[in-house]
Amino acid sequence: MLELTYCAEQARLTCTFAGRMDGSNSPEADARVKAELAEFGDRASVVFDLGGVDYVSSAFLRVIIGAAKTVGEARFSVVNCQPFIKRLFVDAGLDRLFTVS
């Protein structure tokens, strides 16, 4: 599941994900995120909210890395990670590229 919300006052695009983020749904998530970034990415910070996510595959990591590269790592963050998902970001060194909490 994916919900995209743009807050003009804060110039922030929040992408809220839930469930398994794997190879079966990552292409759709990637397409939707890219479409939003094409509209708002040049002026918005981007937050990926993974509070409802219980699995992350390498396909979804590519979605995350692509979004971070598009907007710039300083304007990108991943929030509300389950501890085991946060550990994945730390082990992959992604927490050194953008904020992970």
Number of domains in the chain: 1
Q: Mean pLDDT over all residues of the chain?
A: 93
Residue 83: which domain range?
Answer: 2-100
Return phi, psi of residue 82, to 5°: -65, 150
- Taken in order 24, 35, 89, 3, the sign of the CA dihedral is negative
Closest CA to 76 of 101, 59, 52: 101
State the pairing for strand pair 12-21/2-7: antiparallel
Residue 33 is predicted with a pLDDT of: 92
Confidence class of residue 13 from pLDDT cuts 50, 70 and 90?
Answer: very high
CATH number at residue 24: 3.30.750.24
pLDDT tens per residue across span 25-69: 999 999 999 998 888 867 889 999 999 999 999 999 999 999 999
Write down the pTM of the prediction. Answer: 0.93
Cα 50 from chain centroid (whole Å): 8
